[in-house]
Amino acid sequence: MTRMTYAAAMVDAVVARMHDDPTMTLIGSAYLLGPAAEHPALNTVRERYADRVIDEPPISESAVAGLAIGSAMSGCRALAHFGLAAFAVEAWSQFIHEAGVAHHQSGGQITVPAVFVMMHGVMPIEFSQHSRSPYAMLANCPGIQIVLASTPADIKGLMTTALKSDNPTVVMNHPLLMAMEGEVPDGDFAIPFGEADVKRAGRDVTLVATSHKVEVALQAAEALAAEGVSAEVVDPRTIVPLDRDAILASVRKTGRVVVVDESPRTCGFGAEIGAMVAESAFGNLKAPVIRLSPPDIPIPRGTLAQTPFRTTPEKVVGAVRSIL
């Protein structure tokens, strides 16, 4: 085990795959991983595999997506970075109508081993066009795996799995996670998709949280413990595929659920969890499902104006108190 940041752990997975897979191409590494863009290991990859690194592609998300998808369909493996997830909307057609359907429409003859990395979340100094978490939108389009890691160990393991997969995968990272430190397994470490992780066991309420909101939920669980409330924190880690069994098992045990998420409230990930619980565990519920998600309006610029869009531990504690 080695202690490292979230960003460094992602670089660790990327470096290993670049070394092991001679077909892998890195597109957009000048902005890859945010604060990790100048990570020494990533600089080594640039130097050693210069013929397989496109550092600064044109600012055209649809072109970058098309390049990565075409390369993957041709037998290579591609990792492309889009900067912010909001920008990736420009490549929606390539994601949905090409990467997501190629395998099925070709009768299994074509695979698309491409990974698309991007930042999501509320950006304090940016405008509405930059502050988006569109993973629920992509989840509504079959054929694309979606990763939302929350710890350094998880991002290494999940990124390793993504880079070995023959299916297109979107990895959305939150900028507030990039400097998080934690113990990370050494060597070839992979986490299977579709396996949730119970980050904290509890008996009174289930907190289902994604990405950076897992840390928020854990802080809320600690505060609730001081009040004698035992909260279980479930991190899906991937929302496609989704570990429904793990979430439902927790809800059946606690009888209460609060979803802490950064996708929009209407048709967001929290709405999907609420519907799933209503369909499969309604008889176990002791209170209504609570969703803590941003309101359905464009996200403004500035820390003060963004207050309603930020889910804090205090807000989570308040939501739990309302259903006890």
Active site residues: 130
DSSP 167-214: S-EEEEE-GGGTT-EEEE--SS----TT--EEEE--SSEEEEE-TTHH
β-partners of residue 181 are 5
Residue 260 · residue 316 · CB < 8 Å: yes
Judged on CB neighbours under 10 Å (0-12, 13-18, 19+), 206 is buried
> For 241-247, which contacts have Cβ atoms below 8 Å and span 24 or more sequence positions?
241/145, 241/193, 241/194, 242/194, 242/272, 243/194, 243/195, 243/196, 244/276, 244/280, 246/195, 246/196, 246/198, 247/196, 247/206, 247/208, 247/273, 247/276, 247/277
Q: Which is nearest to 151 in space by CA: 125, 170, 173?
A: 173
Report the distance separating Cα 275 and Cα 253, nearest Å: 18
Structure tokens at 165: 């997969």
Peptide bond into 241 cis (omega under 30): yes
Residue 179 · residue 5 · CB < 8 Å: yes
Report the distance separating Cα 315 and Cα 201, nearest Å: 20
The CA–CA distances, whole Å, from 276 to 102, 242, 272, 287 equal 29, 11, 6, 15
Report the distance separating Cα 200 and Cα 217, nearest Å: 10
Tell me the one-letter amino acid at 129.
Answer: Q
The CA–CA distances, whole Å, from 274 to 284, 289, 311 equal 13, 6, 18
